[in-house]
Structure formats: structure tokens, C-alpha cells
């Protein structure tokens, strides 16, 4: 199996593990075990991230690669009198593109119940205002696939406010190399880092600088990279999704190098070094400015870490919706990490 096959295989497996922010323990354990299988000694941070030392010589000028395994999702905020559930979003889950999606409710007792997220009064033959109604969390509800019709019926199932609701990723890999799924942000890049870890171990490569990888668990709610950066790290690179859309140069087959996001510019030396490495390696890349974006490394800077920072990732279209990327995007991102770090 080559490294791209491994990355694509692991991405599909990780996407199948539900992990909205705050409900990431199963995904973290999945990564932890896989890193052990690769021959590493990962550790779990207090707040649930997975941190691993990938090796390298200079531990006082170390690099941290950061990807996040938490995704968008929802939570039960109210059980209605008719037995339907009102939800609140976790992260930027937009109700406009989650309508009629299948989801599951995870109770504190460990039970799992299927549901569908729909507009309230969702029958077109009944609701004459169906097309005009704005889709919001106040106008939509989750319908349990259980024989319930009252709040008491639902409570007997053990469902209560605060239960997590995880949406079906609907993962598809096409013969042409596209991968379509919810939550490619950022499970695709997490598995690219796994592929890099596998590459270093199998090839017996010892980079000149010590390299750590951290898989964070609260990026989508704004504090994933705020803690647990190892001593000696002078540079942190978020390996997250690259933006694809009007006005940007990147597409799904490329590796994106971000020069600036909504927080501000990335470190000039890091961005320039990434661009030079991409050029020398003959990679398909784009340098873009992301208008509405924040990353784990932005959070690390706000937390007070004195580090240089960068952001790269495979191009992902329809971010925070039903996303799409390509095997070549992973290949070019993997290639840039290799070219830049060794």
C-alpha cells in the first residue's frame, strides 16, 4: 500500500467515527491506537487532544504540525411537547445545508437513536409557506425514528438536553479520485499527518528538526490550539482545509498555502519557505487569502505562545457543508510537508 492509499483508507475510517467538538473521545482513541500501531508513543492531553513526538534532532527548534479531529455537530437543547427535539449548533453547522439530513442522538447512558433534521411542518402538501420559511435552529427540529409523540415518551428513552447529535458524513470516494463527505475539515488533513508519520517510521528518516504532531479537539469552537504545545517548539503549522471558492486560486487537487486569514497575516518566513519548498518539489499549489477563516495556530498565538506560524492544506470545496476534495490534494499536501520538513 502506498502512502496515498493509506491516507484515503484512514480518512474514510476516521470520518466514520462521530466527533463534534466536546464529543471527540472515540476519534482521539482511534488516532491514539493507530499511532501506536505505527510504532509511536502518543499521549493524551488533559483536554483530550492527541500529541505525538515524530522524532528529529533539534528539539530546541522544533516544529508542531496541528490538525483537528473535532467537527461540526449539534446538541439537544429542548424536548418539545410533541416529542420532537430542538437543537443548538456546535461550531458553524449551518441549518440551510443540514435540512433533511440523517443524524443520531447519543445519550449520556450510551444509547444511540436515529433521527432526521427537518423544517418544522416539513410536508410541502400541507405547509404552503414551505419555500419561504427561513431555515434556522428555531424553525427546524429533529424527528426521532422512534414511536414517540410526547415529551414524556422521549424522556423514557433517556434523551435529555445536552445530548450530542452527530450528522451522517455521507462519505463517497469516486473512481476519479474525489472524496465527498461532511467533516473533511479536518479529518482529511489529520490522516495526511498520519501518512507522514507512517512515512517517517517506515523510511527510517530522522529530520534535522524535532517534529511533533497534535490532533486537537476543540478547533471548531475556538480553543483547540490554546494549550499543550511542547517545550522547544518555535514553529507551528496548521494542516487544515484549504479554501476553494470564487476569488481564490486553489482547487481540490492542490495544496493551499494561506498568506492571511481573518486574524491576520501568517509568518512571512514560514509562508515564503513553504512556497519555495512547493516550487522546488514541483508541487501543484496556490497561495491564497482566506476571508472568513481561523485556525489552531491563530489560537496558539492568542494564548501567548512565541512561535512562527503557517497554514496549509488540501483544497476543500463547500466548506462546512457537504465538502469535496481529491486524492491529488492529499498528495500535494503530503508532498509539501515532506519537502518542507524532510
Task: Quote the CA–CA distance of 216 and 190 in Å, as a whole number.
Answer: 10
Task: Quote the CA–CA distance of 263 and 242 in Å, as a whole number.
Answer: 16
Q: What is the DSSP string of 223-266?
A: -TTSS-PPTTEEEEEEE-PEE-STT----TTSEEEEEE-SS-BP
The catalytic residue among 34, 101, 141, 219 is 219
Beta bridge partners, 180, equal: 172, 324
Task: Quote the CA–CA distance of 28 and 36 in Å, as a whole number.
Answer: 12
Q: Can you give the three-state secondary structure of 93-112, one letter per residue?
A: CCHHHCCCEEEEEECCCCCE
C-alpha distances in Å from residue 231, one per residue of 210, 216, 225, 328: 11, 17, 14, 34
C-alpha distances in Å from residue 266, one per residue of 27, 219, 252, 273, 284: 29, 18, 22, 12, 20
**Contact yes or no for 285/220 (Cβ under 8 A):** no
Give every CB contact of residue 195 below 8 A, 6+ residues apart in sequence: 3, 4, 6, 7, 10, 330, 334
Q: Is 219 a catalytic residue?
A: yes
Q: Extract the C-alpha cell encoding 178.
A: 474525489
* Residue (of 1, 150, 15, 8) closest to 84 by Cα position: 150
Phi, psi values for residue 186, rounded to 5°: -135, 30
Q: How many CB atoms lie within 10 A of CB 180?
A: 18
Task: Quote the CA–CA distance of 44 and 56 in Å, as a whole number.
Answer: 21
The catalytic site residues sit at: 219
Amino acid at each position: 500500500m502506498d502512502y496515498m492509499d493509506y491516507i484515503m483508507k484512514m480518512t474514510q475510517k476516521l470520518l466514520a467515527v462521530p466527533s463534534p467538538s466536546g464529543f471527540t473521545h472515540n476519534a482521539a482513541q482511534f488516532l491514539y491506537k493507530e499511532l501506536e500501531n505505527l510504532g509511536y508513543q502518543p499521549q493524551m492531553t488533559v483536554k483530550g487532544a492527541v500529541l505525538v513526538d515524530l522524532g528529529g534532532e533539534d528539539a530546541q527548534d522544533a516544529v508542531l504540525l496541528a490538525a483537528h479531529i473535532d467537527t461540526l455537530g449539534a446538541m439537544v437543547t429542548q424536548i418539545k411537547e410533541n416529542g420532537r427535539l430542538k437543537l443548538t449548533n456546535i461550531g458553524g453547522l449551518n441549518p440551510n445545508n443540514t435540512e433533511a439530513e440523517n443524524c443520531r442522538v447519543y445519550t449520556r447512558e450510551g444509547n444511540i437513536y436515529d433521527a432526521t433534521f427537518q423544517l418544522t411542518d416539513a410536508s410541502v402538501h400541507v405547509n404552503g409557506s414551505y419555500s419561504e420559511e427561513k431555515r434556522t435552529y428555531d424553525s427546524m427540529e429533529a424527528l426521532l425514528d422512534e414511536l414517540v409523540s410526547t415529551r414524556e415518551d422521549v424522556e423514557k428513552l433517556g434523551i435529555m438536553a445536552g445530548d450530542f447529535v452527530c450528522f451522517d458524513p455521507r462519505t463517497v470516494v469516486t473512481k476519479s479520485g474525489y472524496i465527498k463527505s461532511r467533516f473533511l475539515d479536518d479529518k482529511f488533513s489529520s490522516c495526511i499527518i498520519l501518512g507522514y508519520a507512517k512515512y517517517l517510521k517506515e523510511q527510517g528518516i530522522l529530520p534535522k528538526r524535532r517534529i511533533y504532531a497534535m490532533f486537537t479537539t476543540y478547533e471548531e469552537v475556538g480553543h483547540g490550539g490554546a494549550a499543550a504545545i511542547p517545550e522547544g517548539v518555535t514553529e507551528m503549522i496548521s494542516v487544515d482545509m484549504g479554501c476553494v471558492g470564487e476569488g481564490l486560486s486553489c482547487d481540490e487537487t492542490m495544496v493551499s498555502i494561506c498568506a492571511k486569514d481573518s486574524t491576520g497575516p501568517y509568518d512571512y518566513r514560514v509562508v515564503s519557505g513553504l512556497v519555495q519548498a512547493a516550487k522546488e518539489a514541483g508541487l501543484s499549489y496556490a497561495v491564497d487569502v482566506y476571508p472568513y477563516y481561523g485556525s489552531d495556530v491563530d489560537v496558539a498565538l492568542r494564548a501567548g505562545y512565541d512561535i512562527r506560524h503557517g497554514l496549509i492544506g488540501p483544497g476543500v470545496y463547500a466548506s462546512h457543508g457537504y465538502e469535496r476534495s481529491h486524492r491529488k490534494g492529499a498528495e500535494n499536501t503530503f508532498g509539501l510537508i515532506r519537502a518542507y520538513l524532510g
